[in-house]
Amino acid sequence: GFPGMLQMELAEILLSRVKAERVRFTTSGTLATMYAVMLARAYTGRSFVIKIGGGWHGAQPYLLKGISHFREGLDELESAGLPRHIDASILMTRFNDMEDLKSRFKKHGKKVACLILEPFVGAGGFLFAAPDYLRLARELTEKYGSLLIFDEVISGFRFSAGGVQKFYGVSPDLSVFGKTIGGGMPVSAVTGREDILKLCRPDAPEASRVKFEGGTFSAHPAAMLAGKLYLKYLIDNEDTVYSTIGSLGDRARTEIENILRSHGFFVRCSGKDPSVVPSSSCVGVHFLNEDAEKVRSPEQVWSSRLADFEMREKLFKMAMLNEGFHVFHGYGAVSLAHSEVDIQASLDAVDRIGRLFSSFRK
């Protein structure tokens, strides 16, 4: 799309809530993470990318590895049709494993263009990064001259009217936002340092210029208007919005866990870490093979030894769908459209499903 006032207005609102100097808009989180990686490679002149096992950054070739839907190991390419060299350029590290991250940088640091991660892992389990882990990520990327990229497509404006990064006090070089910032319309954005994003400018040196432009629906006026109005609403009503959906999410997690455990299942619900956020509207349901205090990593989520992901991904998902509730990957998030009545209806459905499932085990 072409520049316009609505684009400028949404950019100003977004930059007022995120610690960044510039923003570029596109239409999906997939494209935004792709452009962020391209910018990192152009800026550093390096080719390697470090990503988290279990991290999902959209169906784009530079990061389609180690996502693991029904796989174990979190180190394989996830799609046919990718050039063979892609595999070697994507280095995997374990989420919240500080020693593993240090090891990756010690071995490959001078070749690493960027470390990209979700501070709140979505498809990998609805898990928060440990504060010390993000501080180490910032320290290592600065030490080795790599860029730190936060994918906040899911977490951005989900826990407050801004990025979840503000709760950690860690500022990345680039951030990626989507979903909420469009108010339901196809909008995503890359925000970050001016010296990096200026590589998108038409007058950037040709050898390092990133072709982050065009697209029939990029910065579409209707999408920009929706994003502007929605973000303004979230900002103006921040306390009410996030306390309301957070309390509903807190209730859903606690009661779903209690209900399914009362039917004999080792279930834990993820989506909140009190050391990071005061409340959370996100709910992730995990059927474990062994009882555990909490779900800690994507490896635990996808390990057939530790978790019954077939139960979550297939049986529980389909049972909830039959009850009229769509839970993608066994996860869900409360919105302002939901009420106490909706939450209670979902809990009643979970109770019926738990009773049904437990009858098959007798």
pLDDT at 72 over 60: no
Structural domain boundaries in the chain: 5-236, 238-360
What would the mean pLDDT of 209-216 be, rounded to a whole number? Answer: 86
Please report the sign of the dihedral spanned by the C-alpha atoms of residue 307, residue 308, residue 314, residue 318.
negative
**Whole-number pLDDT of residue 175:** 99
**Whole-number pLDDT of residue 70:** 52
Contacts of 20 (CB under 8 A, 6+ apart): 175, 191, 192, 193
pLDDT at 344 over 70: yes
Average pLDDT, the chain: 94
Task: Judge contact between 59 and 125, C-beta under 8 A.
Answer: no
Topology classification of domain 238-360 = Aspartate Aminotransferase, domain 1 (3.90.1150)
d(CA 176, CA 31): 10
DSSP H or E segment with residue 98: helix 98-108
pLDDT at 44 over 70: yes
Contacts of 190 (CB under 8 A, 6+ apart): 23, 24, 26, 32, 35, 36, 39, 174, 175, 176, 197, 212
Please report the sign of the dihedral spanned by the C-alpha atoms of residue 178, residue 183, residue 185, residue 191.
negative
Please report the sign of the dihedral spanned by the C-alpha atoms of residue 337, residue 226, residue 200, residue 20.
negative
| Closest C-alpha among 52, 53, 26 to residue 38 | 26
Lowest-pLDDT choice from 39-48, 68-77, 267-276: 68-77
Topology classification of domain 5-236 = Aspartate Aminotransferase; domain 2 (3.40.640)
What would the mean pLDDT of 312-324 be, rounded to a whole number? Answer: 93
Contacts of 330 (CB under 8 A, 6+ apart): 284, 285, 286, 312, 313, 316, 317
DSSP H or E segment with residue 38: helix 29-44
DSSP 130: P
pLDDT at 158 over 90: yes
**Whole-number pLDDT of residue 300:** 83
Query: What's the pLDDT band for 125 if we cut at 50, 70, 90?
Result: very high
- Reduced to 3 states (helix: H, G, I; strand: E, B; else coil), residue 13 is helix
pLDDT above 70 as % of the chain: 98
The structure tokens listed for 303 are 């390990």
Describe the strand order of the beta sheet including 266-270 as a list of residue ranges: 266-270, 282-288, 331-333
